Amino acid sequence: GAVVSQHPSWVICKSGTSVKIECRSLDFQATTMFWYRQFPKQSLMLMATSNEGSKATYEQGVEKDKFLINHASLTLSTLTVTSAHPEDSSFYICSAGAASKGIETQYFGPGTRLLVL
């Protein structure tokens, strides 16, 4: 149980285009999902917390107008990188919150590798 999927697994796009990444909880409902970014050989950095039916909460330094997050249902959150530039190239990982043995735990997706040319 507690499987999270992401689509696409990798994407290459031209500079200036927008890219949408989907995060789905497959066998559970997640009121809260998280989006992380990870650069090579670095740790995961939280970008935003996404709550179903409400606006996302962005971490300091993350541009909300550039990284659009939508959490329209209990099983789907999307991250759209608008007007992508080469510096946005990174590994984007989502997680979904689920209660396990009384503790709220985050289950991670497999990640989406974005390369902006």
The residues binding another protein (CB under 8 A) are: 4, 6, 31-32, 34, 42-46, 49, 91, 93, 95, 97, 103-111, 113
**From the CB of 83, what's the least distance to another protein, in Å?**
26
**From the CB of 76, what's the least distance to another protein, in Å?**
16
**From the CB of 84, what's the least distance to another protein, in Å?**
20
Q: Which is nearer to another protein, 6 or 78 (CB)?
A: 6
Q: Which is nearer to another protein, 16 or 110 (CB)?
A: 110
Measured CA to CA, the distance from residue 82 to residue 101 in angstroms comes to 38
What's 3's DSSP letter?
-
Strand ranges (E), 1-117: 4-7, 10-13, 19-25, 32-38, 45-51, 57-58, 67-73, 76-81, 90-100, 103-108, 112-116
Q: Give the chain's length.
A: 117
Query: In this structure, how many other beta carbons lie within 10 angstroms of the beta carbon of residue 27?
Result: 10
Q: Which is nearer to another protein, 44 or 68 (CB)?
A: 44
**From the CB of 40, what's the least distance to another protein, in Å?**
10
